[in-house]
Amino acid sequence: MLGVGTALLFASTGPASAGEDPGISDSSTSATKKADTIGAVARISYTSTGKGGAGTGTVTSVDPNWKPPPCWYAPEWKAKEFRDFRNRLYFTARHDPDAPGDALKDMSDENRGYAEDDYNIDKEKDGMWWGAQFSPDATLEEQQECNKPPFWVENGETPDVPNVISPEILAGLAYKQITVPGTKVSLAPGGASKVNLPTWAWLDKGEFKPVSVTAELDAGPLHIEATTTAKPVSLTIKPGTDDAELLPASGTCEINDDGSIGEPYAKGKADRTPPCGVVYERSSGRGTYDLQATATWEITWEGTGGAQGTLPNGEYGNDQPVKVEEIQSVNR
């Protein structure tokens, strides 16, 4: 196991991360340790079917106890690259006046152990050195979940250690990259909503379609990938005031077979109850109510070797101002 001091030194050199910018759309991005510090081979790239634009954002898990994996082990170096990396790391640490003495000793002892087999340079083509990688927002405590020193893995073998890179881990990392459209709903009748009259709310078909993100890792002969897909299933409305009645009463409007949510208002429907909407019971006065519309997305994934599974549903929503007026009586 890495000593705490050694782990801190590893963290300070800029561990590999799952991407510096969580907001990706149609382009592919990759995350790898910087060449001037680590020289890693491992690379995770992301490709998304989602599109950016006004109101878009990343989904948040409905399960507060779930979060994407903070760290994992993946192929990092060929044998000579690993030797050079360890020598550079130790040289840098020795010339750092703030480097803890215990960490330097741990690192020196580890290097001696690696040097006993000459860093497996004679097996350069037979395998790779694996090391820990971390999510950009992983805390120091979470990084300690992957505090195993770098280790050698023969090509074609899967190391028997916790948190080894897998389709499931890639699926969790892809989850974090999912960008979905905003949820600004159409409201009618037009203009200000009226007290005690239904306000219809809907989203047209085509606004909400499944969004997928594929995470891939290529390192030497190893290729692993997973595609995580978010499928819209419902829209939940919060009127922005307790003085309102939701339609339906739960405030959750299910998605229709054609992909739309709710039903567009049209002339002749004034006496009908909308399948998705709200009845405000008090005027907003000179201000407005903040109506919140939050879409729920069902999350599934599939990956290399037929692996598949589900992840906690995700949510994303937007607020929009709604002005509510009293119905004006007409004196004749």
Q: Which two tokens stand for residue 32?
A: 């790898």
Judge whether 302 lies within some domain: yes
Residue numbers in the chain where pLDDT is lower than 50:
1-41, 330-332
Are the C-beta atoms of 291 and 240 separated by less than 8 Å? Answer: yes
**pTM of the model as a whole:** 0.82
Q: Is residue 290 part of a domain?
A: yes
pLDDT at 5: 38
Look at residue 263 and tell me if it is in a domain. yes
In this predicted model, what pLDDT tens digit does every residue of 187-201 receive, in sequence order? 998 889 999 999 999
Report if residue 47 sits inside a domain.
no
One domain for residues 82 and 194: no
Dihedral of alpha carbons 22, 26, 31, 36, sign: negative
- 12 and 125 assigned to the same domain: yes
Cis check: omega of the bond before 189, within 30 degrees of 0:
yes
Q: Do the Cβ atoms of 312 and 275 come closer than 8 Å?
A: no
Do 142 and 291 share a domain, yes or no?
no
Is 53 part of any domain? no
Residues 139 and 198 reside in one and the same domain: no
Question: Amino acid identity, residue 36?
Answer: D
What domain range is 76 assigned to? Answer: 4-42+70-162
Is residue 60 in a domain? no
In the three-class reduction of DSSP (H, G, I as helix; E, B as strand; rest coil), residue 294 is classed as strand
Domain contains 240: yes
Looking at the fold, whether 15 and 152 belong to one and the same domain comes out as yes
- Residue 144, φ and ψ in degrees, nearest 5: -70, -15
Q: Between β-strands 186-188 and 198-203, what pairing exists: parallel, antiparallel or unpaired?
A: antiparallel
The predicted-structure confidence for 46-80, as pLDDT tens digits, reads as follows: 999 987 777 899 999 999 999 999 999 999 999 99
pLDDT reported for residue 42? 65
Whose structure tokens read 């299910």?
Answer: 254
Q: What is the pLDDT of residue 329?
A: 55
Q: What is the mean pLDDT of the chain?
A: 85
**pLDDT given at position 214:** 97
User: Domain of 240: which CATH number?
Assistant: 2.60.40
305-327, pLDDT tens digit by residue?
A: 999 999 999 999 999 999 999 98
